Structure 1
């Protein structure tokens, strides 16, 4: 029987690997439109951030190049950052699911163990600067209203404590919403607006 797994299997496998290595303190849901409490509460000022793209297997990594206007220019400009990684699945000699990794813009840069990725985190200001530069090279995503998901919704932001523990995770899309929340919706209830009376009434 041929083994089958999905991108989400790899993601869960990564979280379980962190837990087994004692590197997991807390993991927030990283999918769905759930109510988000506070990005600042998850990612404190003393914590570092890493960005991970999960892939079903190594063969799917090449597809990343298609979402850039100029992948090679992006790689030349952004490769000095060490916090952006790809984690993918593959079968071990024992025919069990194993996890491989590589730096996002450098297929030759790998961690000995996937848990070592957590030591590559950068500060929040550096992280936001990186995201701005990354978006400059990305193709515009015109699928917003079609029911499809954007590439950003499949990237995961992990918050790492100073001691190297995972303290929170969000999709990149959710992380962006935490930083730039939508303005509050006006309350249009009938009894919430001031009453208006003509003079003399």
Structure 2
């Protein structure tokens, strides 16, 4: 019916036109396999989005967990900010469907920003989510928050583009939390572990 990228571009276009988001951080590779396709924000609140071509493709995400029923039980009451965005037909044109990742609640596209999460809650959810995912077969183990190494943002009001590492962004936004962690190096990518 549709391609996943068509759905993603349609979402970006419509979100920009409706001024629903003022920040976007697309993910790829290991980061995309770990958490989703992109993080979007508005007024310092964040959404985690996984794009799919159709509603039938949502079930493929279940196989990416060590134990999906447990993940759903643990996170199903806290996923208001975490969505599948998928394509569906509305007469002869592409419409967007939105459904929460675990709780499977559907919402209207124009209401998505109402469900965004604050940064502390978003980080806590993302850490729990990543801990429940299967090991990344192409890497050295589970995907961690520190694997999300770049943040790219844009502002629709003044068109300023910002790029920084996740560590820089996190230190600026979450200084009290980040002071509890130290950066470590391994052969593939930087990691973070709690200070002892």
Q: Structure 1 pair 105/31, CA: closer, same or farther in 2 (3 Å)? A: closer
For residue 103 of structure 2, the aligned residue among 102, 106, 118 is: 106
TM-score normalized by the length of structure 2? 0.62
The Cα of 1:128 is off from its aligned counterpart by 1.1
Q: How many residues align?
A: 151
Q: Counterparts of 1:43 and 1:106 in 2: how far apart (Å)?
A: 21
Residue in structure 2 matched with residue 127 of structure 1 by the alignment = 122
Extract unaligned runs of 5+ from structure 2: 30-39, 172-182, 186-196
The Cα of 1:144 is off from its aligned counterpart by 3.6
Q: Counterparts of 2:60 and 2:77 in 1: how far apart (Å)?
A: 22
Greater RCO, CA 8 A, separation 6+: 1
Note the aligned Cα RMSD (angstroms): 4.0
Q: Structure 1 pair 32/137, CA: closer, same or farther in 2 (3 Å)? A: closer
Extract unaligned runs of 5+ from structure 1: 34-41, 184-201
Residue in structure 1 matched with residue 110 of structure 2 by the alignment = 115
Residue in structure 1 matched with residue 81 of structure 2 by the alignment = 83
Q: Based on CA coordinates, which of the two structures has the bigger radius of gyration?
A: 1
TM-score normalized by the length of structure 1? 0.61
Residue in structure 1 matched with residue 36 of structure 2 by the alignment = none
Q: Counterparts of 2:53 and 2:100 in 1: how far apart (Å)?
A: 16
